[in-house]
Amino acid sequence: MTVIVGLEASAGDEKIVVIGADRLNVNGDLSTAQFLRYVNCENPNNLSFGFDFLEKTGMDKIKLKFGPKIKVSKNRDALLAHTGVNNEANQQVSKLLLNPEDFLKQDAFLMELLSPFKIDPKITQEILSDYRSSFDLKRSLGKGYVPEIRRIFDMAVAKEHKLRSPLFRLSWWDRNYNAALSEYLFSSGFNFDDKSRILLLDISLTGALTRRQYYAKGYGGKYALEYMRDRLGTRQLGFFHDSESLIERDISLDEAVDIVTNAINFANKKSDFCRGLDYAIITSKGIDTHFSNEQGEYEISLMELINRRTSNLRTEINQLKTIKQRYNQRK
């Protein structure tokens, strides 16, 4: 679910980042999230999963609740926006990135994170002590990879599939591309030549990081990117995400806020799974939040989603038939 948007900008000589998100959240149920992903997937074969889901569950609607997707660190020096669902895995990743001190206090969770096998209690504290002493989040972020994120999602997938055996849980390690898991946009200050600079980082399910000058993710991400590329004049670079983030641009704070908020609103109009608007600004002086208090629930008819998807497929098939007929007439 959702759309999250980030954009680097300039306020005088200072670099800043604006992050925005809609407010629609899906519940943490794995099968529900998978259903929504498959119904909206471009592969028509995945529609069979949708019909199986309806038959097995008897559900006719999904209720999505309004709530914030942008989180602020305790020290108010980092921002995190998430897609997907606000389940336990997402909460642990948020704790890791925003409040690592609290993350490191969880003995039982850390031991599960470090190994799918049970460890002799006699050496547990030694293992935890070694891990904590070597833990350095800023260093991991600087290297472009946070291995704990991959592990957290691996654990979540193994638990969802009720894999009680350590060997079976281990077999699901590195198989975490899953609709019930989140992706992230993260922003904080990083030191370069003794100077701090605010950066925008795109964080994937694997824990890999990519610096972006602007980006959007989630179900509505393609619409938000479409809007942003039009505003920034980079539509021709749409197939080269890395290249478009290498081009330096001077964007004022007001313009950045306008681009981010309108990108969210554009996605809200285009996608069934995006509603509402929050945004925040991070600078070297701290964070300025602009969060809505919008509450409530939003219902989506599952059969309506399937009917709309099948209708689109019929249109595509008819277009292909027309192209084929024209081709045959030329021969």
Q: What is the pLDDT of residue 239?
A: 52
Say if CB 185 and CB 215 are below 8 A apart.
yes
Tell me the CA end-to-end span of the chain in Å, nearest whole number.
47
Question: pLDDT digit string (tens) for 180-203?
Answer: 568 899 999 987 667 788 999 999
Is the pLDDT score of 147 beyond 60?
Answer: yes
Higher pLDDT, residue 276 or 13: 276
Rounded mean pLDDT of 268-281? 92
Mean pLDDT of the chain: 82
Closest of 195, 203, 207 to residue 154, by C-alpha: 207
Higher pLDDT, residue 100 or 271: 100
User: 118: which DSSP letter?
Assistant: -
Query: What single letter denotes the amino acid at residue 26?
Result: V
Higher pLDDT, residue 87 or 19: 19
Token couple for 93: 């990743």
The model's confidence at residue 70, banded by pLDDT at 50, 70 and 90, is: very high
Higher pLDDT, residue 264 or 53: 264
The model's confidence at residue 248, banded by pLDDT at 50, 70 and 90, is: low
Output b/e per residue, 146-165; b: 16+ Cβ within 10 A. Answer: bebbbbbbbbbbbbbeebee
Q: What is the pLDDT of residue 329?
A: 85
Q: What is the pLDDT of residue 241?
A: 54
Q: What is the pLDDT of residue 225?
A: 92
Token couple for 191: 């030191």
Is the pLDDT score of 122 beyond 90?
Answer: no
The model's confidence at residue 47, banded by pLDDT at 50, 70 and 90, is: low
Rounded mean pLDDT of 109-126? 86
Helix/strand/coil for 164: coil
Q: What is the pLDDT of residue 158?
A: 72
Helix/strand/coil for 300: strand
Task: Please state, in angstroms and rounded to a whole number, the distance separating the CA atoms of residues 294 and 141.
Answer: 33
Architecture of the 3-330 domain: 4-Layer Sandwich (3.60)
Rounded mean pLDDT of 224-230? 93
CA-CA distances (angstroms) from residue 261 to 6, 10, 82, 153, 254?
Answer: 10, 17, 16, 30, 11
Helices (H), 135-220: 137-143, 147-160, 166-171
Q: What is the pLDDT of residue 50?
A: 67
Most confidently predicted of 32-41, 161-170, 249-258: 249-258
Is the pLDDT score of 117 beyond 50?
Answer: yes
Sheet (strand 278-283) strand order: 214-218, 3-11, 14-21, 278-283, 286-290
Rounded mean pLDDT of 129-133? 95
The model's confidence at residue 172, banded by pLDDT at 50, 70 and 90, is: very low
Q: What is the pLDDT of residue 29?
A: 57
Q: What is the pLDDT of residue 176?
A: 43
Is the pLDDT score of 21 beyond 90?
Answer: yes
Question: Where in the chain are the domains?
Answer: 3-330
The model's confidence at residue 166, banded by pLDDT at 50, 70 and 90, is: very low
The model's confidence at residue 170, banded by pLDDT at 50, 70 and 90, is: very low
